[in-house]
């Protein structure tokens, strides 16, 4: 059995059930509580009654059966009974089925939570081994007796004493991503979106993915934070519920540019208000020219006037400019506020919204002032893409097809087979392809948050592409168009360096053109292109480091590309 479950263990009152339900809701996975299964197996008899009438040994046998049932599914969140770890066979079962988290707490914390439950709950749960006289001493004794068993079973310990529910959820997701790896499948092709939350369908490679219209397609897991990525059609409607699941229940400050606000601002405000949120919207002029410190200062002042607090949430509703600017303000205002990405362009969905890069431009360079600051969630609704113009839509496909070139030939084949439907933004296939692309980006970012290693492969086509953009004064070409031409150039270099076959290099060019993207940039000044390429961030010791392809789906970094070869290819691209 693949280790694909999230299994929570620990003493009672450490939050296993509430945390497990929250994680399951976020991921669109089923939730199994072994205590509930025990009651079901015992024909409705409560756990205290099982203990009283049948004894602890009988209960442990029932619990073992319940645990086996709960762990029989590949992608499930399981909350186990506090004593399930006592049986070595149970520990083996849990460790084989998933990543095991021990939610820990001090005996005094558990005791206080138990008292609070008794005072506040209508029908407080009775824990046979904890309640009654000397409860605190029994809790301490119980923990001491089970300590070695929890330690033996767990892959990771989460001390819950000073954490709220959302913080425990975040820590479990963060470490699940690191211990298990991605939830998406960068080499698994295009996932199938289930019709109902929690439904799973196999990918072309046979691995089930957590793909639903409301389920997470990936979890980005970095040292500075972890967050789910959602993709679907009409998923904007789920924004309020997902914010609440993340524990983001305070005031919401919506940030949008003038174009997006006109199309989706009022609708998004209405959804949030209807769900009980206090919401206000900050709108700035659309376009790259607004991505400045002056705009950020305007947003700072606007937030100050509204007495924004650190527990309040910024929601970036828009493309890359909106996301970068909002993230930068979130990272710096009050030394950090939670923010959520709701990208409305295809390019932002598969690129800018995932990875935590935030920043503003200065007159001498783009993104010169910024930081890495991860959002709490990325929510993508492909329905919002319908207001894009053709060029803006197509430049997004450049990034999607780039992900296919560098990581996933099954995704590439699906894009080729469904080109017309994708260009028409048919909801189901568009959501599937965007989900697969987003999962690739999420996986790479999870491995390399700060772009010091594998994340460099995402720059395939960017060395030439950025040079072309700069030579055109960032006006002649959109970013995705520059990258598209840059990928043609990188494919030709790969071919002439003896890495990539002529057939595959030709396939790359045909695929790019078939999505309405340019493969040449005539009339650009070649000297300006060369000069801009020397300023590329991947330059080391005055030499460009090239992301090249030995074959489709694989990358290699080379610094030995002859300048004469580069010059020849640049001339081919700009003449």
Q: What residues are labeled active site?
A: 335, 357, 399, 441, 451, 455, 459, 462, 466, 479
C-alpha 1/C-alpha 206 separation (Å) is 14
Nearest to 477 by CA among 391, 559, 362, 372: 391
Backbone angles phi, psi at 56, to 5 degrees: -70, -35
Residues in contact with 57: Cβ distance below 8 Å, sequence separation at least 6, in sequence order = none
Residue with tokens 């972890």: 226
C-beta neighbour count of 389 within 10 angstroms = 7
In the structure, how many helices (H) and strands (E) does the chain have? 23, 16
Length of the chain, in residues:
575
Nearest to 223 by CA among 454, 455, 449: 449
Provide the greatest CA pair distance for the chain.
Answer: 88
Helix (H, G, I), strand (E, B) or coil at 552: coil
- The residues with which 159 forms a beta bridge, in sequence order, are 104
Residue 251 · residue 243 · CB < 8 Å: no
- List C-alpha distances in Å: 147 to 10, 46, 87: 9, 26, 13
C-alpha 20/C-alpha 33 separation (Å) is 9
- List C-alpha distances in Å: 193 to 186, 203, 375: 16, 10, 24
- List C-alpha distances in Å: 470 to 91, 291, 462, 482: 58, 17, 12, 9
Helical residues (DSSP H) of 497-525, grouped into ranges: 502-514
Joined together, the tokens standing for residue 295 give: 């705009």
Nearest to 227 by CA among 238, 237, 216, 211: 216
Nearest to 209 by CA among 364, 439, 437: 439
Residue 500 · residue 489 · CB < 8 Å: no
């Amino acid at each position: 059995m693949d280790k694909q479950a999230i299994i929570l263990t620990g003493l009672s009152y450490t939050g296993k059930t509430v945390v497990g339900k929250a994680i399951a809701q976020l991921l669109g996975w089923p939730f199994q509580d072994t205590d509930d299964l025990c009651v079901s197996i015992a024909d409705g008899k409560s756990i205290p009654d099982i203990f009283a009438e049948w004894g602890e040994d009988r209960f442990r046998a029932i619990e073992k059966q319940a645990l086996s049932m709960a762990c029989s599914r590949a992608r499930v969140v399981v909350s186990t009974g506090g004593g399930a770890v006592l049986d070595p066979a149970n520990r083996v079962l849990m460790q084989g089925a998933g990543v095991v988290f021990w939610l820990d707490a001090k005996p005094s914390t558990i005791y206080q939570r138990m008292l609070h439950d008794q005072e506040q709950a209508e029908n407080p749960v009775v824990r046979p081994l904890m309640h009654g006289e000397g409860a605190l001493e029994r809790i301490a004794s119980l923990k001491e007796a089970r300590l070695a068993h929890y330690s033996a079973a767990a892959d990771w310990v989460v001390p819950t004493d000073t954490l709220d529910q959302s913080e425990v959820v975040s820590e479990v997701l963060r470490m699940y991503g690191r211990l298990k790896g991605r939830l998406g499948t960068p080499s698994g092709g295009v996932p199938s979106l289930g019709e109902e939350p929690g439904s799973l369908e196999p990918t072309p490679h046979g691995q089930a993915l957590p793909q639903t219209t409301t389920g997470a397609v990936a979890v980005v897991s970095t040292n500075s934070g972890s967050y789910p990525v959602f993709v679907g059609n009409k998923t904007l409607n789920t924004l309020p519920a997902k914010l609440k699941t993340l524990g983001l229940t305070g005031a919401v400050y919506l940030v949008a540019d003038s174009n997006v606000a006109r199309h989706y601002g009022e609708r998004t405000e209405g959804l949030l208000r209807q769900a009980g949120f206090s919401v206000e919207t900050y709108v700035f002029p659309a376009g790259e020219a607004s991505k400045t410190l002056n705009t950020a200062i305007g947003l700072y002042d606007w937030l100050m006037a509204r007495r924004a607090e650190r527990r309040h949430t910024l929601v970036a509703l828009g493309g890359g400019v909106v996301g970068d600017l909002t993230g930068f303000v979130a990272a710096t205002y009050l030394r950090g506020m939670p923010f959520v990405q709701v990208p409305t362009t295809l390019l932002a969905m598969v690129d800018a919204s995932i990875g935590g890069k935030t920043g503003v431009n200065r007159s001498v360079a783009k993104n010169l002032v910024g930081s890495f600051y991860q959002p709490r969630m990325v929510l993508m609704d492909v329905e919002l893409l319908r207001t894009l113009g053709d060029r803006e839509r197509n430049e997004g496909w450049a990034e999607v097809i780039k992900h296919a070139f560098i990581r996933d030939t099954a995704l590439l084949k699906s894009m080729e087979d469904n080109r017309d439907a994708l260009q028409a933004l048919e909801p189901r296939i568009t959501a599937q392809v965007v989900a697969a692309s987003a999962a690739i980006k999420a996986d790479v970012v999870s491995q390399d948050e700060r772009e010091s290693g594998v994340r460099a492969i995402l720059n395939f086509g960017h060395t030439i592409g950025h040079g072309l953009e700069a030579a055109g004064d960032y006006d002649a070409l959109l970013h995705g168009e520059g990258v598209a031409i840059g990928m043609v150039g990188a494919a030709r270099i790969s071919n002439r360096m003896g890495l990539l076959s002529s057939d595959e290099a030709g396939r790359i060019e045909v695929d790019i053109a078939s999505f309405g993207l340019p493969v040449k940039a005539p009339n650009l000044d070649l000297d300006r292109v060369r000069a801009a390429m020397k300023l590329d961030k991947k330059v080391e010791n005055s030499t460009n480091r090239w992301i090249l392809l030995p074959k489709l789906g694989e990358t290699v970094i080379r610094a030995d590309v002859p300048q004469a070869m580069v010059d020849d290819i640049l001339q081919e691209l700009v003449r």
